[in-house]
C-alpha cells in the first residue's frame, strides 16, 4: 500500500498573527472591481490581514459602486493622483498602463506599491518577489515591489525546492493556462461558445468580445500574448526572464511553450528540468513535501495527481507525476497546478505585504 502523500502547510509569515494584533493598515486596491481585485478583497478577509481601511479604486465607470470589503460596505473611488493619500500600501491589479501612470505617484505619497502587472518586473531597482523563494528581497524595495507572472509563480513553486536540493541547470516547460488568465472576458467567451454547442470541426470564429484569436471551446490555442521575431511569445519569455531574476540565476536556460486551454480556473505546467547534481525520486519527494505552499499529490496508479478542478480557490500548489526524465541527464519531470488568480496574483501580493510587515520594512526612505 503506497503511503499517502504528505501535504505541507500554505506559506505564512511566522509572526503575522502577532503583528496583526499590534497594528492595522490602510490598504488601497487598484482594480478592485476586476477579477483579481475581487480575489484580493476575499483573501484579505480569509487571511485576517490587519486592515483599518480598505480603499477600493477603479475606473470612472465603476466609481460609486458599493462593495463589501473587510467588514464594511465601501464605495468604489476613481483612481486619481489624489487617491493614495494617507495609505500605507496599495495593491495594483489594473494592468501595466495604470501601474505606469499611478504607481510612482502613490510611492511619492509614502504608499508602498505591490504591482500585479508586468510593468516593473524586470526593473533592476524593483524586487520581484515569490515569498516562499525570496522573501528577503522585500527588504531592498524603494516603494514598489512586483508580483511574478502567474505561470512563473506556479512553475517556481514546484521547481524551487528541487533547485535547493539538486541545483537547477535547465528548464523545458509547457503551460496549460486557463481562460480566466485572460480576465472575466475569458470565462465569458468559453461559456458563450459552449452554450452555442461548438463542435470540434466548427469553423466559426470567436465573437468580437472574446479575448482569444480562435475559438477556445473544444480547442487548445498555443498563443498567449504577442509573438516576437524569434517565434517565442512575450508570455513565454516572462517565464525565462522572471525565473532568472527570482532565482538569481542570470544564465538559466529556459524554453517554454504557453497554451490556452478550455479550463475555467487554475493553470497547469508540465516541467522537464535538468540539475547539476544526480537526482532521485525519493529525495525529490522529500524536498517537495517539506516545502511550504506545496502539496505532493503523486500516486498516479490510484488516480492521484493535481488537476485544475482540485486547485481552484486553493492556497497551495499541487505537484505530481514526479519521475526521472529519460531525455535529460540528471533530469526530473513533473506536473504542477495552481490557482493563477490566487498564487499567481492576489494571494502572492498579500503574502508580499505580510512579508513587508514581518520584516518591518513597509516604510521606505527616498
Q: Which residue has the higher pLDDT, 8 or 332?
A: 332
CB 39 within 8 A of CB 33: no
pTM reported for the whole predicted model: 0.92
Task: State residue 206's pLDDT score.
Answer: 65
> What's the whole-number mean pLDDT along residues 14-38?
81
**β-bridge partners, 347:** none
Rounded to a whole number, what is the largest CA-CA distance in the chain? 62
Q: Which residue has the cell 526612505?
A: 365
Q: Is the pLDDT of residue 351 over 70?
A: yes
What pLDDT does residue 365 have? 62
What local confidence, expressed as pLDDT, does residue 4 receive? 39
261-281 burial string, b = 16+ CB within 10 Å, else e? bbbebbbbbbbbbbbeeebee
pLDDT, position 82: 96
If DSSP codes are grouped into helix, strand and coil, which group holds residue 335? strand
With beta carbons less than 8 A apart as the criterion, state whether 22 and 54 touch: no
- Residue 209 binned pLDDT confidence (cut-offs 50, 70, 90): confident
Residue predicted with more confidence, 207 or 213: 213
**pLDDT in the model for residue 137:** 97
* CATH superfamily ID and name for 16-148+345-358: NAD(P)-binding Rossmann-like Domain (3.40.50.720)
Non-local (6+) Cβ contacts of 337 within 8 A are: 154, 266, 267, 268, 269, 306, 307, 308, 310, 311, 317, 318
Convert the pLDDT of each residue in 72-122 to its tens digit: 999 999 999 999 999 999 999 999 999 999 999 999 999 999 999 999 999
CB-side neighbour CA atoms (13 Å) of 362: 19
Contact 212, 221 (CB under 8 A): yes
Report pLDDT for 364: 73
Residue 278 has pLDDT above 70, yes or no: yes
Q: Within a 10 A sphere around the Cβ of 334, how many other Cβ atoms?
A: 25
Q: Residues 292-315: what's their mean pLDDT?
A: 96
Q: Residues near 6 by Cβ (< 8 Å), separated by ≥ 6?
A: 289, 296
Question: Which cell is 124 given?
Answer: 533592476
Residue 84 has what DSSP assignment? T
Contacts of 19 (CB under 8 A, 6+ apart): 13, 50, 357, 358
The pLDDT score that the predictor gives to residue 2 is 36
Question: Which secondary structure element, helix H or strand E, spans residue 191, and what is its range?
Answer: helix 184-195
User: Is 202's pLDDT higher than 70?
Assistant: no
Q: What is the mean pLDDT of residues 64-70?
A: 93
Distance CA 38, CA 160 (A): 29
Closest CA to 53 of 75, 35, 31: 75
Reported confidence tier of residue 7, pLDDT bands at 50, 70, 90: low
Backbone angles phi, psi at 304, to 5 degrees: -105, 105
Question: To the nearest whole percent, how much of the chain has pLDDT over 70?
Answer: 90
What's the pLDDT score for residue 168?
Answer: 98
Residue 138: its pLDDT value, please? Answer: 97
From the list 101, 105, 132, 131, the residue with the least C-alpha distance to 117 is 101
C-alpha grid cell, residue 82: 489624489
DSSP sequence for 58-101: E-TTTTT-EEEETTEEEE-EE--TTTTTT-SEEEE-S-HHHHHH
- Which pLDDT belongs to residue 339? 98
Does residue 112 contact residue 87 with C-beta atoms inside 8 Å?
A: no
Of 15 and 49, the one with more pLDDT: 49
The confidence score (pLDDT) of residue 363 equals 82
Fold classification of 152-340 is Dihydrodipicolinate Reductase; domain 2 (3.30.360)
**Position 13 pLDDT exceeds 60:** no
Domain boundaries, the chain: 16-148+345-358, 152-340
- The stretch 55-59 carries a mean pLDDT of 97
Q: How much is the average pLDDT of 56-70? A: 94
Please state the rounded mean pLDDT for residues 245-273. 98
Residue 196 is predicted with a pLDDT of 83
The catalytic residues are 150, 267
> pLDDT for 117-167, tens place per residue?
999 999 999 999 999 999 999 999 999 999 999 999 999 999 999 999 999
109-126 in b/e form (b: 16+ CB < 10 A) is bbbbbbbbbbbbbeeeeb
What DSSP character marks residue 305?
Answer: S
- Tell me what the mean pLDDT of segment 343-352 comes to: 98
Amino acid at each position: 500500500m503506497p503511503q499517502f502523500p504528505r501535504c505541507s502547510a500554505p506559506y505564512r509569515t511566522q509572526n503575522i498573527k502577532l503583528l496583526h494584533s499590534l497594528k492595522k493598515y490602510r490598504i488601497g486596491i487598484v482594480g478592485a472591481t476586476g477579477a483579481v481585485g475581487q480575489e484580493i478583497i476575499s483573501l484579505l478577509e480569509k487571511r485576517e490581514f490587519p486592515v483599518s481601511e480598505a480603499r477600493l479604486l477603479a475606473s470612472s465607470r465603476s466609481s460609486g459602486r458599493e462593495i463589501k470589503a473587510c467588514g464594511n460596505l465601501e464605495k468604489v473611488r476613481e483612481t486619481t493622483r489624489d487617491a493614495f493619500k494617507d495609505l500605507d500600501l496599495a495593491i495594483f491589479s489594473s494592468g501595466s498602463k495604470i501601474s505606469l501612470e499611478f504607481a510612482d505617484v502613490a510611492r511619492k505619497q509614502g504608499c508602498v506599491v505591490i504591482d500585479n502587472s508586468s510593468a516593473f518586473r524586470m526593473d533592476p531597482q524593483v524586487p520581484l518577489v515569490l515569498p516562499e523563494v525570496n522573501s528577503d528581497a522585500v527588504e531592498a524595495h524603494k516603494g514598489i515591489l512586483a508580483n511574478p507572472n502567474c505561470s512563473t509563480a506556479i512553475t517556481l513553486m514546484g521547481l524551487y525546492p528541487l533547485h535547493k536540493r539538486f541545483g537547477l541547470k535547465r528548464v523545458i516547460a509547457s503551460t496549460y493556462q486557463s481562460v480566466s488568465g485572460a480576465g472575466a472576458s475569458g470565462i465569458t467567451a468559453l461559456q458563450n461558445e459552449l452554450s452555442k454547442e461548438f463542435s470540434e470541426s466548427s469553423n466559426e470564429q470567436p465573437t468580437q468580445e472574446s479575448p482569444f484569436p480562435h475559438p477556445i471551446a473544444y480547442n487548445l490555442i498555443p498563443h498567449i500574448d504577442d509573438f516576437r521575431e524569434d517565434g517565442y511569445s512575450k508570455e513565454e519569455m516572462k517565464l525565462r526572464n522572471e525565473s532568472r531574476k527570482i532565482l538569481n540565476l542570470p544564465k538559466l536556460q529556459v524554453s517554454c511553450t504557453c497554451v490556452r486551454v478550455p479550463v475555467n480556473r487554475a493553470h497547469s505546467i508540465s516541467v522537464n528540468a535538468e540539475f547539476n547534481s544526480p537526482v532521485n525520486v525519493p529525495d525529490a519527494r522529500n524536498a517537495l513535501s517539506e516545502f511550504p505552499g506545496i502539496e505532493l499529490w503523486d500516486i498516479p496508479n490510484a488516480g492521484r495527481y493535481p488537476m485544475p478542478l482540485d486547485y481552484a480557490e486553493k492556497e497551495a500548489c499541487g505537484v505530481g507525476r514526479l519521475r526521472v526524465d529519460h531525455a535529460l541527464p540528471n533530469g526530473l519531470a513533473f506536473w504542477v497546478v495552481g490557482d493563477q488568480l490566487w498564487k499567481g496574483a492576489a494571494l502572492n501580493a498579500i503574502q508580499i505585504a505580510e512579508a513587508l510587515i514581518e520584516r518591518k520594512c513597509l516604510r521606505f526612505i527616498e
